[in-house]
Chain A
Amino acid sequence: MISLTINGKRCTVDEDLTILEAAKLNGINIPHLCWLEGVHEFGSCRICVVEVEGARTLQASCITKVSEGMVVHTNSEKVRKARKVLYELLLSDHSKDCLSCKRNQSCELQELGRTLGIEETRFNGARSDYVLDSSVSITRDMSKCILCRRCVTVCNEIQGVGVLNAQNRGFQTVISPAMDLPIGSVNCAYCGQCTVVCPVGALKETDSIQDVWNAINDKKKRVVVQVAPAVRVAIGEEFGYEPGERVTGKLASALRALGFDDVFDTNFAADLTILEEGTELLTRVKRALTGKGAVLPMITSCSPGWIKYIEHTFPDELDHLSTCKSPHTMMGALVKSYYAKKIKVDPKDIFVVSIMPCTAKKTEIKRAEMKNDGYQNVDAVLTTRELAAMIKEAGIIFTELEDGKFDDPLGMSTGAADIFGVTGGVMEAALRTVYEMVTGRELPFEGLHVTPITGLEQVKEAGILIENPLPYYSFLDGVEIRVAVTSGLKGADQLMKDVAAGRSPYHFIEVMGCPGGCITGGGQPRSKDPQVRIKRLKGIYSEDESKALRKSHENPYITMLYDEFLGAPNSHLAHELLHTTYVRRGRFNELCNERFTVKGGIRKPRVAVSRASLSEDKNRTQVARMREDMESIRVLALEAENTRLKSELDDTLETMELFKKVISDYIGKHK
């Protein structure tokens, strides 16, 4: 413990704290922008500067550690002036169209301006050229980027993917993939973690809201919606609830109020996934133990960010992946086959919307493999944030909604499905079912929770000893099933290096692309609560515990589905509808031609963006835009010519002066 003085107040704090943290503990808020607790502590924006007595310059309080006897002023005239200038400089290269920005009123830059009491922007200098780059999942609008580098930290340090980095230097600096490659063409996993930490509207999900409105408004379409487990413990935050508070009932009502025809639950498909994946695991283990040979460990395939990552980074290890599709695409496939037959609707008139905590799912549904009979399994994916925006736009007062229910037959689920939303959940759900299938007894853990693999650590592992199995599974007697769980792509990389080297000791590995699992997915509400992950995690587990049925194989509608339609887990029909294949992509996408760039998604306006696109006639706007571009180019050319002529004139005048001088010297000498 050391003591220091902040704004005249004596404080005693831990010695490894920064000034910013020490001030916070003592009730003093230092305005800051790029600093993000536990993620980005880097000092790139300098907004948090403070005066430290004895120091030559102002210090960035987010990276300066406290020391004994330090005297700090966080609110002196000098500090306040410096902050304002820094803020105004940030604004000078920021497109200030706040009223028409997706982050309007949820923008950290905007909020900071209010905190600092900014009322003018004095600096109107040059604006850097910018890029608008859209992939199916993520859109980059670099006119709004303030170079805080939170996304760079998340992409490189936390996820270990490294798609985004600062390119060029000085005024030309841009946060971008290598060599200005479009984000849709590189090895981005589309995990969307960058969109969660971006303080402004520079990184965001590619909008699908209008597509969904169009489908809802189309009278001929039967619009089916499904919700992922992690959405129900997070969407409440957009309406003032605490993180982790379960709003499942209200969510179902809100979806109905929005005009969806059927409100289903992705949880149902999660239960189905457990039966398909559990069966696949037992088949692989049996083949391995009986000497027939099988690829182990088997790795889960629910997280499309993880799938894209492994396809790029470990293209030779794809046979480790379970062949199961992710739950929401399973659901889509079932809606357009089983359910379509039930309600006698042509699958071409069905439009399936998935509400997901995820940006990678937007890309997943466009993959060539996610189709059956020529129809995309899922037609549109909305992130949790997008759904909240739609609910607000529709004027639905979320907090006052009655609790509703999901529709049958694809809306019923067990507690095992709920925990898909959190790291370790798929593994736990699978073990609950597999253990019981093999031994006929319940999983021997209190509350059915496999405690070694619950929690938020990066890599977790457990071993489960099989004793006295049912006769059919006698080959498993005395075998310890070893499992590992990881979330976040950096952890996945660790486990995969062992898998690739053939030294992985596990039978089954669960990987989720985002740290903590889907609860903190790239499409979830941006939260300022540092405890958000643990709160949402608790929410998920309490949803699980609130259910009467907590094991996937107990779901009566799953049994019915197999009886009426699929036959048995891993049957031929199940394989056709619910299983998939993977694509070798390579680190630089060199092994495959599939790209996820939105057509015309990359634009580089040189002067000002023409806003003519509001006009109905696309051709006309294009002509108008071309004409405007031509005009601006002509103006630039004329200006350049003008400058050139002026400088030439100056040169000539200078030369004339020289000549005059020489002549007068000459005359002077000869007199």
Chain B
Amino acid sequence: MSKRPVPCTCLRSATSSKYSELDKIIELYKNKEGSLIQILHLAQEIYGHLPLELQQYIADSLDIPLSEVSGVITFYSFFSTKPRGEHTIRVCLGTACYVRGGKKIIERLSEILGVGLGETTKDGRFTFEIARCIGACGLAPAMMIDNVVYKQVNVNKLESILARY
């Protein structure tokens, strides 16, 4: 009846330095119910994406099933399980931008970047996505890189825009 009082720590000890930033966040939210999304949110901010290994670490720290963590991650499109580029390009394909040639921008961008929609460039600089209306219909066609909106884009402007990053 005499045993070590510690639960399994194999994962934790192997990767403690790697996830030390996350540990602080988990410590903060650990005993609050319903804080998983918040933790995932912050974790993605720190590490860029949420790979299986990180999901396991979070599941282990919070003592909840891994399938629950991955269930939440795969439910929300904001969470990504694949590495993301340094910058995220979102080309608007809302009605106005669609009509004013959003599709051509996408075609040209994917030529320049060499990747398709939802993918990340090989050098890890850009993740290429579409957005459904960013509320800039008067400036169509529009696109966003990170938090900056580019208005009335056309295919000839693209290279000079990308050159800024």
Contacts and interface: CB of A to CB of B under 8 A. Distances in A.
Interface of A: 156, 161-169, 176-179, 186, 288, 296-297, 313-317, 499-505, 586-588, 590-591
A317 B3 contact: yes
A448 B56 CA distance: 48
Contacts, number: 90
Indicate the member of A168, A314, A499 with the most B CB atoms within 10 Å.
A168
B75 A162 contact: no
A591 B56 CA distance: 14
Given A168-B75, A502-B2, A588-B56, A178 B11 contact: no
5 contacts: A167-B75, A177-B67, A314-B7, A315-B8, A590-B11
Contacts of A314: 7-8
Given A166-B71, A178-B55, A179-B55, A502 B65 contact: no
B159 interface: no
B71 A165 contact: yes
A165 B10 contact: no
Nearest to B55: A178
Q: Which 9 A-B pairs have the closest CB atoms?
A: A162-B65, A178-B70, A165-B67, A502-B3, A165-B71, A178-B66, A178-B67, A168-B74, A501-B5
A169 B75 contact: yes
Interface in B63-115: 64-71, 74-77, 81
Interface of B: 1-8, 10-11, 52, 55-56, 59-60, 64-71, 74-77, 81
Contacts of A176: 67
Nearest to B81: A179
Contacts of A502: 1-5
Contact of A500 (B3, B52, B69, B74): B3
A164 B67 contact: yes
Nearest to B75: A169
Interface majority SS on A: helix, strand, loop or mixed? loop
Contacts of A587: 8, 11, 56, 59-60, 66
Contact of B3 (A163, A313, A499, A588): A499
- Which of A162, A165, A166, A179 neighbours the largest number of chain B CB atoms within 10 Å of its CB? A179
Contacts of B68: 156, 162, 165
Contacts of B74: 167-169, 179
A169 B75 CA distance: 5
A167 B1 contact: no
A591 B66 CA distance: 16
A165 B1 contact: no
A315 B9 CA distance: 10
A589 B64 CA distance: 16
Nearest to B53: A588
A297 B1 contact: yes
A297 B2 CA distance: 10
B41 to A, nearest CB: 17
Contacts of B55: 178-179
A587 B77 CA distance: 27
Contacts of B8: 313-316, 586-587
A445 to B, nearest CB: 26
Contacts of B10: 315, 586, 590-591
A503 B64 CA distance: 23
A30 to B, nearest CB: 30
A178 B52 contact: yes
Contacts of B77: 169
